[in-house]
Structure 1
């Protein structure tokens, strides 16, 4: 069952790009932008990550943390972070348990992992969900929603 607006986000753990254990409960208490993307270092995903990077301080001004999630390995995330100087959290969801817990759909006839962004308030409640293949639009939408919560 997919997470919908008004739901509390599911509890999940993972390993971040630095190899550290990550628990979402440690980030409740601040707004979150959780975005699922298909693959590191591909044109659309790189554009999305770099746009989040370029606007990271604006997100921080709202008190928000950005968390990117894909099924790529930790090593892939490490290379992606290093290559593009990404300042936010990237999580490895190699077994797709997090993606499945949120109910993120697949794109392109079910062949590619979907691109979905969740805007979450400080209480862990989903305030907005944006599902689009347009990688750059996710940042604009996330910022406009953060201004309202």
Structure 2
């Protein structure tokens, strides 16, 4: 397993295909981390579309999205599923954040969160506006997730400093 970025380190750029549900349309495009410089970004890695814990996690983040955006942050959800599954998942649960497809687990490997034979570990990384990693949580079991309230607190802490 690759070494996960450490706190205070610059996070390498990446690009992944993704889509966002907006006004009933699932708009697809490539998402590049470098395009987010200047604002904090939350990368929420999750194992699979439609699974019970992943659904609860992403629904909670989607419902809190306005509050997270009010703090200046963008939230990207990343999993190995393809765009068709992402679109169905977004439509079924009215998910409003971009869902990115890391089908080959290239980005998950870059963050050191792959699990042989199982995909990836549920993880959240908070990257500051300057591109440095400011907070992370990597779950070993993946049956719980960091709450939207926790994310808000972490984002507020880095934007106030």
Question: Which residue does the alignment assign to 2:150?
Answer: 141
Q: Deviations over 1:78-125 (max 9, x none)?
A: 11111111111110000100101111143xx86352001001111111
SS at match of 2:78: strand
Residue 77, structure 1, aligned to residue 86, structure 2 = yes
Residue 131, structure 1, aligned to residue 133, structure 2 = no
Aligned counterparts of 1:135 and 1:52: Cα–Cα separation in 2 = 14
User: Is the 1:117–1:138 Cα contact (8 Å) retained in structure 2?
Assistant: no
Question: Which residue does the alignment assign to 1:114?
Answer: 121
Instruction: Give ranges in structure 2 of 5+ residues lacking alignment.
Output: 20-26
Instruction: Give ranges in structure 1 of 5+ residues lacking alignment.
Output: none
Aligned counterparts of 2:9 and 2:147: Cα–Cα separation in 1 = 20
Q: How many residues are aligned here?
A: 147
Please list, as runs of the form range in 1=range in 2, the aligned pairs for 1:99-110 lying within 5 A after superposition.
99-106=108-115
1:146: how far off?
A: 0.9
Output the TM-score relative to the length of structure 2. Answer: 0.85
Aligned counterparts of 1:136 and 1:102: Cα–Cα separation in 2 = 17
User: Is the 1:32–1:121 Cα contact (8 Å) retained in structure 2?
Assistant: yes
User: Is the 2:80–2:119 Cα contact (8 Å) retained in structure 1?
Assistant: no
Residue 32, structure 1, aligned to residue 48, structure 2 = no
Cα root mean square deviation, aligned:
1.6
1:137: how far off?
A: 2.6
